[in-house]
Each structure stands twice: as C-alpha cells, then as structure tokens.
Structure 1
Amino acid sequence: MKSDKKVSRRNFIKSAGVGAAAFTIVPRFVLGKGYRAPSDTLYVAGIGVGGKGESDIANFAKSGKAQIAFLCDVDDRRAAKSVAAFPQAKYYKDYRKMLEKEHKHIDAVSVSTPDHNHAVQALAAMQLKKHVYVQKPLTHDIYEARILTEAAKKYKVVTQMGNQGASGDGVRQLMEWYNAGLIGDVHTVYCWTDRPVWPQGIPWSTQKGVVPKELDWDLWLGTAPYKDYVEKLVPFNWRGWWDYGTGALGDMGCHIIEPPFRVLNLKYPTDVTASVGSVYVDEFKRGYFPESGPPSSYIVLTFPERNGKPPVKLHWMDGGIQPQRPEELGPNEKMGDGGNGVIFVGTKGKMMCGTYGILPSLIPTSRNAEANVPQTIKRVPMGAEGHYAQWVEACLAGYGKMEVSSPFEIAGPLTETVLMGNLAIRSQDIRKPIPDQPNRFDYPGRNIKLLWDGENMKITNFDEANQFVKREYREGWKLA
C-alpha cells in the first residue's frame, strides 16, 4: 500500500473495513515470513527521549518486538537524535496531551525525565492501563514510590525500573554463593560511589539565564516550585538540587544497593544515621546551602532480622569516600570496580562486586577457583542488556504472565530505602534559631538516629524529618 499521507493504525483498520480485534489477532504465518502481527508488537511512547531516554527507546526497538510510536520531550535539542532515529513516531512536548490524544494507540510508556517528574508521568500512564518502564530512581520521594508500587498491582500493568544490573549475571552469581553458605550470614555491607560528578553543596545562581527557544521551561519544571531558568542546570546538573534531583545516592543507589537488597532479601530499614561533608564559603565560615545536596555523605541503614538471618548494617559512602580496604584483598587488586562497589561481610567470609553487580568475586579472590557452586538461578538472556527486551516480552505476554527483574514490587521498596538516606541527609540542614543568640542556630537533625516506621512511612522520633517523605507539588500538579 502506497500513500503520500501517514496512515494511523486506527485509520488503516477503518478504511480496510475490519475491526480492531480482527486486526490484532492475525497469525504470523498468514502475513508470511519476515512480517510481524500487530499483536506481537509493543507500541511504545517515550517520555523524555534525550540522553538516557534516547538509549532506552533504542534498546526497546533493538528487541525486534517494539515499535517506537510516539516521542515526547520538553527540549527539542535533546530529542533531536530520537526524532531522526524514529521518523515515523509522532512528536509531542507535553506528555499529558500525548496520553490524552494517543492513548488508544499506545501499549507501553517509557519515562526517562528528571527525577521530580517520574511519579506523575508514570502514574498517568498506569491509570490508562499502560505498561511502564521508569528510569532510576523510581521516584523523587518515598511517598511517590509507595504510590507507584501500589498502582502496579491496582492497574495490573507490567513494570520495570531502569536499573539494568538487576538483570545481570553478576547479582545472580552473588545470590548463588550466598545461598550456598560460602560467606555465612551477612551482617555488614559497604556500598560506595565516586559520584557526584556534578556541582553540589553550592548556592543557587543569582544570574537569570535566557531560556533556549527549544526548551519549554515551565513543562520542564513540572511539579517543582517555579524558579527562573539558570544556565547549566539542563540537561545534567539538576541532579545536585533537591527540587529536581536526588543527589549521588539517588543517581547511583539503585544500581549499587540493588545487589545486597536482592541477595539478602532486605525490606524496609528500621533506622538511619547520616553525616555529610562541609563546604566553606571562606576560611572560617561553613556554608549553608539546603537547596543542594552535600559534596559527600556517609549513611548507615539498619535492616531487621529476616527469617532467622541476623540484622544488617548497610553503609553508604559517596563523594569519593570509600570503606577500609579488606585485608584479604591483594595490594594491587581492584576493590569493586574502582570508583564504585559493594562489599558483603559475612560470618564465614566476604564477597564483593562493582556497579550493577559486575565483577562478582569472593575475598580473597583465590577462593573464586574453588567456588564450584551449581547454577540455580535462571539467567536473563543477554544479561543486563537484556533488561529492555525482558520488559518488552513481559508486556506482550501480559500482567502476571512473565517475570521481570525489577518490577515495582521490588524497585519500589529499593527506591524507598535509597530515599531514606536522602531524608537523613536533608535532616542535617534543618535549623532553628537559638534564643537570645543572634545569628546562631541549632541543628536538631544532626547527631541523632532517625527511627523509621516503614509500613506507615514515618520517622517516629523527629517529626521535622517527615517533610522529606512527601513534598508539596507546584499548583496545577498533583499525583492523582
């Protein structure tokens, strides 16, 4: 069929005089070799299609079973490569308009936007019964993560978070070693990253920038409070500002904490402590910039006993801080993957890995040669790269028909744990004036242990910290 006009699937069906149901059940053999029945194709809409979003939709298409049908981005510059790669896809700037007009032609939605807009975009798609793939961290707030976790069950949609290491072979190897008892019961875990690699611990710029003509600044802000556009915030440095990003922990925590979370079957932590690096505005005065994440942080989360397993202390370090090097590790052997990693400390030994669970190894590494543990956990085809195709296949199969590596029932609690660390970090900046002492302040959130009621999403011993569980959206935006 040749036409000078683009013909939508609906119009084609209508003009052909057949119903949608008949169209979608055409068997593959009827169409002939090399053709794919529409029922075997997942029609995907991408919200945020530059940067990571660009690679996400490209990987869905690479599966051979997904068609990128719609593109949406608030910045034409960032979307340009995806628009060129998928010329048949209709382009929108406002995801709300796209979903309103095109939802009947969409099977699934990929969300890869700044953290502060993940929840409203994903939930809007889920409420339309669309399967969703959402970049890490799943959400900006703890409350949002809980809402999306519950929504996945309510709307019966296939979900996956973009922490592709969850599909990797490395984490499955670690699980098999642990389940075989090679390192005994784990009681301590160390996680670290060399992030942030963007500015943090700095004041907000006082220089108002000129909004690029290709960028819809109001749509980019979305749920966040209105502020004038500043240079260099977009497309990457927003990660260091609490209004939009979730700092080093939010950026890397879902990749690095995922292996211990899965291997040890962790759930909600019971308490958290934090300390943060300082920034000095001059030789003697410490800076106070609560709008931005700190240059470095050290978090300790406590997880309770699980099915007879002992409590676990999980240590998180960022900004270049690393744990003490295990004595069993050779002097020239790499710890983790260098800049990032995880060390499990058990009653009978230790093991480690890098980001995404790569480079799994027992410590000392000489033990790897003797670790002849049978493979008991099924691998995902193509490992971490197969994370995308796995979701596509599961969406085509339908809710509850196929397992995915990071469904929201796992990704939600993992994200809540990551964001608990940020709650503790931000509590460090809560300050109150000291009576009768001008320009002196007390910081009641520092040097205390925050006790967490996971089921009810509440700090029980320092109520001021609960403001970081759920933020207020800008007027006109809501998590319906």
Structure 2
Amino acid sequence: MQTNEKENRRDFIRKAAVIAAGVSIVPRHVLGGKGYRAPSDMLQIASIGVGGMGRSDVNNFHKSGKANIAYLCDVDKVRAKDSVSNFPKAKFYTDFREMLDKEHKHIDAVSVSTPDHNHAIQALAAMELGKHVYVQKPLAHDVWEARALTHAAKKYKVVTQMGNQGASGDGVRQMREWVDAGLIGDLVEVYAWTDRPVWPQGIAWPTQKAPVPATLDWDKWLGTAPYTDYINKLVPFNWRGWWPYGTGALGDMGCHNLEAPFSIYGLQYVKDVQASVGSVYVDEFKRGYFPESCPPSSSVTLTFPKTPKTKGDVKIHWMDGGIQPPRPDELEPNEKFGDGGNGILLIGKKGKILADTYAANPRLLPTSKKYKEVKQKYARVPDGAKGHWAQWVEGCLAGYGKMEMSAPFEISGPLTEALLMANLAIRGADLRINNKYPGRSLKLLWDNDNMRVTNFDEVNQFVKRTYRPGWEVKYNF
C-alpha cells in the first residue's frame, strides 16, 4: 500500500469513528498527552544490516522522534546484538527477502547498511515495493548498479538519501556561498585525499580457510558475490579491501571528500579518468599482483565536462594510501593540511578553500587574511551533519518531491558512478602493470550513454559484474 493510500485510509477510519460516536475531533496531543505521537504518524522503518554503521543508522533514525524501528535484519547475530537489545519490539530476520516478502505491507521505508556488494540488490527490492530508501555510502558496488538505483528512485517516486552525512553539514553550504560570491574566482582544479586504507590491501587471498562462526550466515553474507570459503578477519570490516565485496579507499571516503566539489559545481558524469597505483613486492625483484585485492595506494585524476558554474572542464585529483598533494604556499608551515589525514582543496584563480573530512571546518587561504563577509544564501539542515538521518525521515513523511534532501540518488548516484569509474582506472592500471603494457598509469575514455570504456576493453567486465546464480541484480531502464 502506498503512503497516500495509507493516509487516506487512516483519515477515513478516524472520521468514521468520530461520526459514529457523535463527538467532535479531538487533537492527538490531548488524547495521548503532551508530546504524544500516534504510531500511525511514525515512519515505519525496516533496517538491513544493523551492526557497525547500521547500528548508528537505526539509532539516529530513532533519535528523530518520528521513526519507529519496526524490523531488523542481519546475517550476523553477534553484530546485530546491540540493535536487537535497543529495539526489543522490532521483529528480527536474517534474510531481507523474507522480511520484505512477509512485512512489506507494514513497512514505509528501508535502510541498507550492508557491505557494498549487496547494496543494489537490497535497495532495488525495497524501491520496487514503493519503499523509501536510505543507503550507506557508496551507493553501489558497480557503475551499472549506481545508474540503476538513480533511475529507479525516479521511476518509483521514492524519497532517497545516501549515508554521506557531510552533505547535510554547514561546511559544504558555506563553501558554496564563498564560491557563488566569487571569493576564489574561476575554478582551476580540485584535490581530495585520505589516509585510508586502514585495512589490509595489496595482499594475496588467504589460502587457509577457516570455520564459519555459528552466528554468521555466510551464504547470505556473500549474497551477490561468487561463492568462496570463509576466511578469518574478512567480516566485519576488512572486506572493504577486496574487490568482490568492497570498493577500497575511494568507496569508503570518496563519497565524503568529493561530495562538496561535486555538488558545489553541479558535476555529473565523467569524461575520462586516469590512475596510477602503488606496488607491492613479493620479493626485492618481483612485483606481486593480487587481482582480488585493492592496491595499497592510488592517485586518480577525473575530468568532468564544464557546467554552468565553470569556465571549462573540471579536473579532480584523488589520492589515497597516505599520498597528499603539495601543501599550498598560503598555508603556514605548522598549519594542519586538511584534518591531517584527509582533506579537500578547491583552487581558484583568485583564491583557495581548504576543508577537512565531510567538508567540515572550511577556511579560505591564507587564514590570516580578512575576507569580505558573505551573506548566508543556503538554508542549513537542522543539527548539520547530525541531522542527515532526521532529514530523510522528515522527507519520507512529507512524501516524494515535497522536501529537499541533501544526498538524494539524483545527486549521490552520479557521484558514486564517478568514484566507481575511478576504481575502473585503478583496476585497469593494475592490469596494465601485470600484463606488462607500456607505462604504469592508464587513462580511460568513457562513453556515458552506453556505460562503456572505449579504449581499454578489459575493464568493461567491472562495469557490471557477473552475479552469483540466485542473487542476480535485475533492472530494466
């Protein structure tokens, strides 16, 4: 049942009951006491993946005061323990398919906080039922999946939000106001960087299998990924460094550190992307090649077509694994560059903006200079980045198209695609080195309409991967 149908039915039942009783309508807060909120006015949320970041997500939805955590789903009962304890009235499932099949009539919205490789199959299943969705970053594992989720959000008219909370922060809005006021002039280029990975990358897949914990449903955890024997320390965190499940440092931090330049300048799909990757040596003479593992570090340059806010193409330089761009001359020797390990730097013809992770703490360089005061132009999200979850809850209650979201799939879908395109170049650069092509870097040319790399066919296999039988992600554009 769609939200409008639910509201009409509730209105009918309320009015009929009042007429039958021969009394006038009494406000809910009078019936239930001050601050009372009827269950019918609460957003009924089903959460898939409720340990780790998922635990944080359900807690933040609950803090909005307008959401009921009605259903919990997780394949790992140990990881789910805290959420089950915090929401004892929520019905618990280990299979999201069973939960949606049995409970969809009672669910308004679904949050997805599972590993990257299962985002698309779970989010699409919810949207096809007309449910609003909140999906942790990155939105998807593959370029094709990100495009499908972006298209589906519009097709099914559901309220969407990706879990990059910095998009709701004050920092990105302050940066946009400075750019709009011309304080840094025309954009020249952008740098973003991270100290991730903080998990193993550039290593061989372990040869020794391990016993599956009794509390983990390994087959359902694998989901769309190829079947393989369980190994120690993959779950719950180190999966990020393995291509079948994670998307590396870019997937983890790119959505946070590239969101600001992406939204400020209205960027969409990339034109081309080039990358070089760090090497791992198995001995002092031979470079190791580990196709299942993301490399230990990478440097990527993405080129975007010009937008109404730029004079020409936009180049964004991404660096991970501890690599950082040169310190700006305007930065004092002892001033922190970004937040130390992560940062964003916008370089214009007249000035520069430096910010921390999530676009927090933006400052114009040099920080010692006095700049003209810029009037606030963009409305702030209540509680800033902490209000990211509540904003989605409010949007779902208001209905599709009634309220602006900070990270709807309309924006976060193309952003995720750009990051996954960068990963194509990273994987391609790794292939080039292993296959002894000339050079250690690679530039990919992208046919956006057909979602295809036109000059290095080997990487097109990663645009849309082959799914495990029974776990196929299906969508018709």
- Report TM bin, short chain: over 0.9
- Cα distance 1:429–1:448, how it changes in 2: closer, same or farther (>3 A)? closer
State yes or no: 1:451 paired with 2:412: no
Which segment drifts farther, 174-183 or 445-454?
445-454
- Mapped contact 1:118–1:140 kept (Cα < 8 A): yes
Match of 2:232 in 1: 231
- Mapped contact 1:132–1:157 kept (Cα < 8 A): yes
- Mapped contact 2:61–2:67 kept (Cα < 8 A): yes
Match of 1:267 in 2: 268
CA distance in 2, matches of 1:430, 1:278: 12
> Tell me, what secondary structure is at the counterpart of 2:354?
strand
Amino acid across the alignment from 2:28: R
Amino acid across the alignment from 1:322: Q
State yes or no: 1:346 paired with 2:340: no
- Mapped contact 1:165–1:357 kept (Cα < 8 A): yes
Amino acid across the alignment from 1:300: T
Counting only pairs closer than 5 Å after superposition, residues 231-310 of structure 1 correspond to structure 2 as: 231-307=232-308, 309-310=311-312
CA distance in 2, matches of 1:386, 1:84: 24
**Superposition CA RMSD, Å:** 1.7
2:454 to 452, 460, 475: 460
Amino acid across the alignment from 1:313: K
Match of 2:28 in 1: 28
CA distance in 2, matches of 1:366, 1:238: 43
Match of 2:365 in 1: 363
> Tell me, what secondary structure is at the counterpart of 2:71?
strand
Amino acid across the alignment from 1:360: P
How far off its partner does 1:290 sit? 1.1
Amino acid across the alignment from 1:352: L
State yes or no: 1:375 paired with 2:369: no
> Tell me, what secondary structure is at the counterpart of 2:319?
strand
Question: TM-score normalized by structure 1?
Answer: 0.92
- Mapped contact 1:428–1:445 kept (Cα < 8 A): no
1:478 to 452, 472, 477: 472
How far off its partner does 1:465 sit? 1.8
CA distance in 2, matches of 1:346, 1:279: 36
Identity of aligned residues (%): 69
Counting only pairs closer than 5 Å after superposition, residues 30-179 of structure 1 correspond to structure 2 as: 31-33=31-33, 34-179=35-180
Match of 2:22 in 1: none
> Tell me, what secondary structure is at the counterpart of 1:120?
helix
How far off its partner does 1:21 sit? 5.6
Amino acid across the alignment from 2:136: Q
- Cα distance 1:261–1:441, how it changes in 2: closer, same or farther (>3 A)? closer
Show structure 2 runs of 5+ residues with no match: 1-5, 16-24
How far off its partner does 1:320 sit? 0.3
Aligned length: 455
How far off its partner does 1:445 sit? 8.8
CA distance in 2, matches of 1:104, 1:306: 43
How far off its partner does 1:241 sit? 0.2
> Tell me, what secondary structure is at the counterpart of 2:430?
coil
CA distance in 2, matches of 1:299, 1:197: 19
Amino acid across the alignment from 1:138: L
- Cα distance 1:20–1:445, how it changes in 2: closer, same or farther (>3 A)? farther
- Mapped contact 1:428–1:443 kept (Cα < 8 A): no
- Mapped contact 1:297–1:425 kept (Cα < 8 A): yes
Amino acid across the alignment from 2:171: G
Per-residue displacement from partner, 1:226-254 (whole Å, max 9, x unpaired)?
A: 00000000000000000000000110000
Show structure 1 runs of 5+ residues with no match: 1-12, 14-18, 433-439
Per-residue displacement from partner, 1:317-363 (whole Å, max 9, x unpaired)?
A: 00000000001100111111110001111011111111101010001
How far off its partner does 1:479 sit? 1.7
How far off its partner does 1:456 sit? 2.3
How far off its partner does 1:20 sit? 5.5
Amino acid across the alignment from 2:444: L
How far off its partner does 1:32 sit? 3.3
Amino acid across the alignment from 2:154: K
State yes or no: 1:430 paired with 2:457: no
- Mapped contact 2:135–2:162 kept (Cα < 8 A): yes
CA distance in 2, matches of 1:59, 1:470: 33
4+ residue segments displaced more than 6 Å: none
- Mapped contact 2:277–2:441 kept (Cα < 8 A): no
Amino acid across the alignment from 1:40: D
